[in-house]
Structure 1
Amino acid sequence: MSTPVQTSPASTMISFARGAPSTDIVDVEGLKQAAVAAFDSDPAGMTGYGTAVGYVPLRRWIAEKHGVPVEHVLVTNGSMQADAFLFDELATPGAAVITERPTYDRTLLGLRNRGADVHLVTLEEDGIAVEEVAGLLEGGLRPTLAHVIPNFQNPAGYTLSLAKRERLLELARRHDLVLFEDDPYVDIRFSGEPLPRMLELDGGAASEHVVYASSFSKTVCPGIRVGYLVGPPALIRKIQVRATNTYIAPNMVAQGTVYAYLQGDRFPAALERVKQALAERVGLLDDALRAHLPQASFRRPEGGYFLWVSLPEGEGHDVARITAEAAARGVAIVPGTDFLLEGGENSFRLAYSAVQPGDVDEGVRRLAEAVEAARP
C-alpha cells in the first residue's frame, strides 16, 4: 500500500515512543457500525453489569478460536489487566519469576510492585535464551512463572523460534513451571510464516503449563481495551474471583462492540490494512536507520509495532542524554534503560506504528543529530 508522502514541519513532534496505531489505519467507521449493531442486537447485554468472565458471546468466540472450552477463558479490560490478575495470583512477594531482558516496562513494574524476585534472562534475536533458563532451573531456582512475549516482542520486535518454544515447554513440564505466553501482537504479522502458540503445542485444552494472554488493542484499536486469558480452569476460577471483587464485570459495551465487529464483514480487510501500513513503515524505518545511523545495530521485525536499536558499546553513549537531545529536536523515543533493571544506556526502542510514512526519514535524521550531540 503506497501512502502519499507528507512531511511534518520542523516544529512538529515526531513520536517513535507510543506503541499504538495512527488513527488513519483504524477502521473508525466500522467500529461505529459495530457499536450500533451491538446495542441493536443485545441491548440488555450492553447495558447490564454482565459477568466477571466477560461478555458471554465474545468469551465463546475466543474459546472457539483457541480450541478450548469456555471455562478456560476470562475476558478482561485489556491484556494488561489480564497480566495483573495473573501476577496477583502467582507473582506474590518473594516468588521467583523469570522474564526476558529487555522486556516490557509495565511487566517489570508490575512484578516489582508485587515484591516478586525477578530474574531477567538474555533475549536473543530468536527469543529468550532457553539454555540460560535451563541453567537457572537446574541450579535450583523454582519460579512460579516465566513470562515470555513470543511474537514481535515489546520492546525488541524479536520472535521466539519454534525450537525454543518446544524447549521451553520441555523445561516447564520437567520443572512444573507455568509459562505465561503474553501474545498481544501475534495477529499483526506482515511477513514470514506464523508459528504455533505454545498453548497449542502443549495440547490446547489439555495444557497444564501454559497460560495465554492476548488483546484486541492491536487488531481492533487500543481504545477498546479488551484482552483475555486462556488457562487451566482451576486457575481461571481463582482469577474470576479476583475479577468479581475488582469490578463485578468488565466493560460490556466495549466487549460487545468487539464481538459485533469480529462478526461483521469489515474486520478481515481492516486487519490487512493495518498490516500493510506497518510493513510500509518498518521498511521506511529500516532504510532511514541504514542511511542516517549506519553505526546502529537492529533486527527488522516481521510484525508488531517495535524495533530495538543498539549503538556500539564502549563509546560512552548515554541514552538519557540522547532522549533529551532528541526531544529538543522534535523526536520522541523510549530509552532502553526503561526495559531493564540495569544496563541499556546504548539502546532505545522505536515504535513505528503511529508515525506517518512521510515523517519516518525526517524523524531518524533528527535522531541521528541527537545521537551525535549527546556524545561525551
Structure 2
Amino acid sequence: MTASDLISFARGAPSLDIIDVEGLKAATDAALTEDPGGALGYGTAIGYPKLRKLLADRHGVAEEQVLVTNGSMQADAFLFDQLVVSGEPVVVERPTYDRTLLGLRERGAVVTPVSLATDGIDVDELAAALDGGLRPTFAHVIPNFQNPAGYTLSLAKRQRLLELAEQHDFIIFEDDPYVSIRFAGEPLPTMLELDGGKGRVVYASSFSKTVAPGVRIGYLVGPADLIAKVRVRATNTYISPNMFAQAVIYQFAASGGLDRSVAKVNAALAERVATLCSALEKHLPEAKFTAPEGGYFMWVELPEGVDVAQLLTAAEERGVTFVKGTDFLLEGGRSSLRMAYSGVRDDQIEEGVSRLADALKSLGVAAG
C-alpha cells in the first residue's frame, strides 16, 4: 500500500479540492499590482497595515489592539511567553489541543485541566476549583468547534466564564481559529465581544482554516498595552511576519473572496460530517460521538478496553489513520480518538471508517 492509498482522519487541514486556488491567484496579482512595495518589503512586526485595520474593524477595536503573526500558533507562543509564569497554574480544557499542552509545559506552567462537556468547559468545576484557592494566570479556551472534541461553548457558559475571570482576576485566552467554519446552528458572540472592552479577554484566530494552511497567518486581539509587549517579542523574533502572504489575504478578503471561500468550505464540511456520522453508525455502532456544528474535528469514544495505540497500528496497516485521544490529555483518553474530516474527500469517508472497523475487529474487542 502506497502513501497515496492512505485515508487520513489525522490532519486538521482543508483538502485541496475546497481551497479557492483561482481566487488566491487573483488576489496575488492584485497585491503585486496595487501595493508591490508593501507586499515585498520587510514591514514591521504589526503585520500588513491594511490587513491589521481590516481585522480591527471586524472586531470593533482600535488598530493598536491587533497584531498579525505567522500563524495562530506563533500568536499563541508569543502570548504564552508573555503571560506564563513558571510554577503558576494555567487552566485548559480536558481534552485540549496537544500543541497547547506542549507549549505551556515547556514554559513551566502548572497545567490545570477542567472537564469538557458537549456545551464547553465545565464552569461549575472551574468555579469550585477557584473557590478552593486555584489562582490561574489565564484560562485557555477554544470556544467554537473545539480541537480535538468539536464541541462549542454555550452562551451561558461564555457569560459565566467572564464572570469568573472578573471575580478571580484572571485572563481568558479565547483561541478561536474555527469560528467561521460553522455549517449548522446559530453563531454565538465571542467572549471578546461580551467582555465589552474590559480587557479580560485576549483573542486569537487564523486564516489557515478558512483559506489555506500554507498562508500561515494568525492574529491576536487584546488590550493595547499587552499587544505592545507582544509586538516587542515579535520584533525581536523576526522583525516582521510574512508581508507578502498578508497582502494577498488582505486582497482576498477585500474582494469578497474570503466570504466565498468560507461558504465553499462550510458546504463541503457539512456533507463530510453527515457522511462520517452515517458511516460510524453503520460500521462502528459501538462508537459514541456528538456531531459538530462546525470546525474540522469530531471526538469518538470506543468501548472500554480498546487501546487506541494498538488500534492505530492496526488501522495504519489497513490504510487509515487518526490521532489518539491520549495525545490531547495529560492522563486518560485510552479508548478515544480524534477524527478530522476536513482533509478527507466525501467519497473516501465510508471506506476509511470501514477500514477502521476492520482494525477494531482485529483486536478482538466486543461491540459495546
Does residue 172 of structure 1 match 2:172? no
Stretch deviating more after TM superposition (86-95 or 180-189): 86-95
Equivalent residue, structure 1, for 2:332: 343
Name the TM-score, length of structure 2 as normaliser.
Answer: 0.97
Unaligned regions of 5+ residues in structure 1, if any? 1-7
**CA deviation profile, 1:157-198 (whole Å, cap 9, x unmatched):** 000000000000000000111000000000010010000000
Q: Distance in 2 between matches of 1:351 and 1:81?
A: 22
Partner Cα separation in structure 2 for residue 10 and residue 183 of structure 1: 32
Give the match for residue 272 of structure 1: 263
Equivalent in 129, 135, 146 of residue 122 of structure 2: 129
1:318 lines up with 2:307 in the alignment: yes
| Alignment match of 1:215 (pick from 196, 206, 228) | 206
Aligned partner of 1:3 in structure 2 is none
| Alpha-carbon distance, 1:345 to partner | 0.6
Q: What are the superposed Cα offsets for residues 313-346 of structure 1, whole Å, 9 maximum, x if unpaired?
A: 2xx2111000010000000110000000111110
Residues 109-188 of structure 1 correspond to what in structure 2 (within 5 A)?
A: 109-188=102-181
2:285 to 294, 306, 310: 294
Distance 1:108 1:252 in 2: 29
Q: Distance in 1 between matches of 2:86 and 2:3?
A: 48
For 1:331, the equivalent position in structure 2 comes to 320
Residues in 2 aligned to 1:200 and 1:207: alpha-carbon distance in whole angstroms: 10
Aligned to 1:249: 240
Q: Which of 217, 223, 226 is the aligned partner of 1:235?
A: 226
Specify the code of the residue in structure 1 equivalent to 2:340: A
In 1, Cα distance between equivalents of 2:282 and 2:338: 18
> Could you say if the C-alpha distance between residues 51 and 358 of structure 1 is closer, same or farther in structure 2, counting changes exceeding 3 Å?
same
Mark the CA change 1:11 to 1:201 in structure 2 (over 3 Å): closer, same or farther: closer
The aligned counterpart of 2:353 is: 364
SS in 2 for 1:189: coil
SS in 2 for 1:229: strand
- Structure 1 stretches of 4+ with a deviation exceeding 6 A read 8-11
Aligned residue type for 1:245: N
Deviates more, 1:121-130 or 1:265-274: 265-274
Q: What CA distance in whole angstroms lies between the structure 2 residues aligned with 1:266 and 1:162?
A: 30
Q: Distance in 2 between matches of 1:36 and 1:173?
A: 47
Displacement of 1:9: 10
Q: Name the structure 2 match of 1:104.
A: 97
Aligned residues: 365
Contact 1:190 1:279 in 2 (8 A): yes
Contact in 2 for aligned 1:337/1:343 (Cα 8 Å): yes
Per-residue deviation, residues 242-285 of structure 1 (Å, max 9, x unmatched): 00000001000011110010011333222211100000000000
Say if 1:199 and 1:207, in contact at 8 Å, map to a contact too.
no
1:261 to 252, 256, 264: 252
Counterpart CA distance in 1 for 2:190 and 2:324 is 30
Structure 1 distance, partners of 2:204, 2:261, is: 22
Q: Is the 8 A contact 1:11 1:330 kept in 2?
A: no
Report the CA distance between 1:374 and its aligned residue: 2.4
Task: Tell me, in whole angstroms, the C-alpha distance in 1 between the residues paired with 2:3 and 2:23.
Answer: 34
SS of alignment partner, residue 202 of structure 2: strand
SS in 2 for 1:38: helix
Q: Distance in 2 between matches of 1:260 and 1:295?
A: 48
Give RMSD over aligned pairs: 1.4
The aligned amino acid for 1:268 is: D
Instruction: Give me the identity figure in percent.
Output: 64
Report the Cα distance in structure 2 between the residues aligned to 1:262 and 1:243, rounded to whole angstroms.
24
Matched, 1:225 2:219: no
Give a deviation string over 1:77-99, Cα, whole Å, max 9, x none: 00000000010011131121000
Matched, 1:304 2:302: no
Equivalent position SS for 1:364: helix
User: Are the structure 2 counterparts of residues 253 and 348 from structure 1 closer, same or farther at C-alpha, using a change threshold of 3 Å?
Assistant: same
Q: For the residues of structure 1 that align with 2:198 and 2:65, how far apart are their CA atoms?
A: 10
